[in-house]
Chain A
Amino acid sequence: MLSFRVDGHSVVPPYLQIVQQVRQALRMGVLKLGDQLPTVREVVSETAINPNTVLKAYRDLEREGLVEARAGHGTFVRGLPPGPPPGTHSRLGRSLATWVREARAAGLDDESMEALLHTTMRATAEEEEIA
């Protein structure tokens, strides 16, 4: 059975932390098709988070088609998260490594690189929204 960790100090809201942990568990194969997620009562008595937070997370996962709620029985895994085809991560990782070496040679430290990455991610996301 999956057990959730909720970090109250994270900037990621608690419901999203649960969504991400379920997605991650599905990607890593910790959760398989047909597996049951912990019940809302089990999650809240263990983590002391708001029951509506858990419900919201489960509803999000249901909308994504990853789980399904069966009335009176619980919430079960019914799909796997869509992801890029295998090899994508390593291919992008290689080109990112080239960029990082270039940035370091240009005198950027880790912090400036992270800042630049976040700014660029936000800027391109906004472009896509406008487009």
Chain B
Amino acid sequence: MTPAITTTGLTKCYGKTAALNDCTITVPEGRISALIGPNGAGKTTLLKLLAGLSKPTAGQVTVNGSVPRQDPAFLAEIGYLAQEIPLYRRLSAEDHIRAGAHLNPRWDSASVRERLAALNIPLDRPVGKLSGGQRAQVALSLILGKRPRLLLLDEPVAALDPLARRNFLGTLTDGVAVGGLTVMLSSHLVTDMERVCDHIVMLSSSRVQLCGDIDDVLAEHKLLVGPRKDTTAIERDHYVVQVTRTPRQTTMLVRLNGPVHDPAFQVSDVSLEDIVLAYMGEDAPPARAAFTSVGDDQQ
């Protein structure tokens, strides 16, 4: 099965600043991928490149088997929802549905009306008069009505209250359950994404720090807690993401490369949030560890 998204060394510069640097990722079909990263990490830049809304400075990108471009055949299979949820505020949901039917080849008006009816959202009201949560639902239902193969959502739930957020994500997962849809949605919060997503791409300082199925990421990363001692053996065998040393104790978050042989270290599971935070540690370059020391040299 061809992946929905592949990029190799994808780079986008604005002037001399790289908004996205050497980004290599793969997102298999049918995944809901969380695009996680602090503000300014390059999430929007990546989404725009995938949607064909901007052109890369260097590197390759393939979406649904072709190069993103402003072309009806390519765009018909992409749904892109920008952060500010662009809808015509004076038009009703029904007006949007009719416009969509004119503009899109595979449009499914019935499913949009069905979804909005199930959510008790009036079809005849100007969308500017709906609540923020309802507007987001209208936009999402419209985009699902386009029946895209890849859905790109930029911070879709950031502005929503918890209930609206849950309902929005419920609509999204239902859209995926119907089949044939891959989703990438960005957020700077991991906790929102964890239950919905099964894949993660993590950006920090415009670079990819992590890309893979969440189950694999969780299985590979462990927290090792043990006495303060020489850890070169562990550092040689495994990839140390973050280490904290106190005079008595060493705490390491590692990406395992096999079992840990040192019985002095207690191995425990780590949450996805802790893994992401460890990788986010100040400018930690990829494939290089971030070391922090607390209370050194006090023995």
B153 to chain A minimum Cβ distance, whole angstroms, is: 14
Is the CB of B64 closer than 8 A to any CB of chain A? no
Which of A9, A41, A46, A50 is within 8 Å of B197, CB to CB?
Answer: A50
In the complex, which residues of chain B have a beta carbon less than 8 angstroms from the beta carbon of A9? Answer: 191
- Kindly state the separation between the CA atoms of A40 and B32 in the bound complex, as whole angstroms: 15
Of the listed stretches B16-24, B74-82, B143-151, B174-182, name the one at the interface; the rest are far from the partner chain: B174-182
Does A49 reach chain B (CB closer than 8 Å)?
yes
B172's nearest neighbour on chain A, judged by CB, is: A48
Known: A8-B194, A52-B31. A41 touches B271 (CB 8 A): no
Chain A residues, CB < 8 A from B178: 41
Interface of chain A: mostly helix, strand, loop or mixed: helix
Q: Could you tell me how many residues of chain A have their Cβ less than 8 Å away from some Cβ of chain B?
A: 19
Q: In the complex the two chains form, is A48's CB within 8 Å of B30's CB?
A: no
Residues facing A in B151-197 (CB within 8 A) are 166-167, 169-174, 176-178, 191, 194-197
Partner of A47, one of B31, B195, B218, B269: B195
Contact with B along A12-24 (1 / 0, CB 8 A): 0110000000000
The chain A residue sitting closest to B30, CB to CB, is A52
Pairwise interchain contact A49-B196, C-beta atoms closer than 8 A: yes
A8 to B192, CA, bound (A): 9
Interface residues of A in 44-85 (CB under 8 A from B): 44-54
A50 near B191 (CB under 8 angstroms)?
no
Q: Is the CB of B30 within 8 A of A50?
A: no
Given contacts A44-B174, A45-B177, 15 further A-B contacts (CB under 8 A): A13-B218, A41-B177, A45-B170, A45-B171, A48-B167, A48-B169, A48-B170, A48-B196, A49-B196, A50-B32, A50-B197, A51-B173, A52-B30, A52-B32, A53-B195
A-B contact pairs, 5 of them (CB 8 A): A8-B195, A45-B170, A45-B171, A45-B174, A45-B177
* Chain A interface (Cβ < 8 Å from any Cβ of B): 6, 8-9, 11, 13-14, 40-41, 44-54
